[in-house]
Amino acid sequence: MDVEEVFTGVALVFEGIGALAMIVGFLIAIVLGWRSLRRGEGGSAAFQVLRTTLGSAILLGLEVLVAADLIRTITSKPSMEDAAILGIIVLIRTVLSMSIQVEIEGVLPWRRAMLTSGGQLLGEAVARDRAAASRQQSGSA
């Protein structure tokens, strides 16, 4: 087995992790949106939780998929065509990531005071849900 085959396998693992991140994030988004509805926060709040969490999961998945593309391209026999294809893929995924981030946060990425990744945004959504559940439990006790 040569080095190129090993890194092709590594790139496939990264692609699987990226897809899994989006799938798991989708499931988390559904659960958090449903819990928000159950707490009586209203449809608008539940939709916002669902949208933010799902967008964060997609961002995380896209970041991992870009890493997979980079691994695959730099470990293969390089050609100008491969480099051009990688550039186009990274450009498309970067534009998608920025668009999703603007939708989630309502501000351009370079205008934010602190940079955050898709994983951090997903973690923040889960933390907000836990805090809301805690408030509800302490209010009903």
Residue 140 has pLDDT above 70, yes or no: no
pLDDT digits (tens, 9 = 90+) for 68-123: 888 887 777 777 887 788 888 888 888 888 888 787 777 776 666 555 566 677 77
- The whole-angstrom separation of Cα 88 and Cα 101 is 20
| Predicted local distance difference test score (pLDDT) of residue 31 | 93
What mean pLDDT do residues 13-38 have?
Answer: 93
- The whole-angstrom separation of Cα 41 and Cα 78 is 53
Domain boundaries, the chain: 3-135
What mean pLDDT do residues 1-21 have?
Answer: 88
Residue 30 CA from chain centroid, whole number:
15
| Predicted local distance difference test score (pLDDT) of residue 117 | 64
CB 66 within 8 A of CB 98: no
pTM over cut 0.85: no
Q: What integer best gives the mean pLDDT of the chain?
A: 83
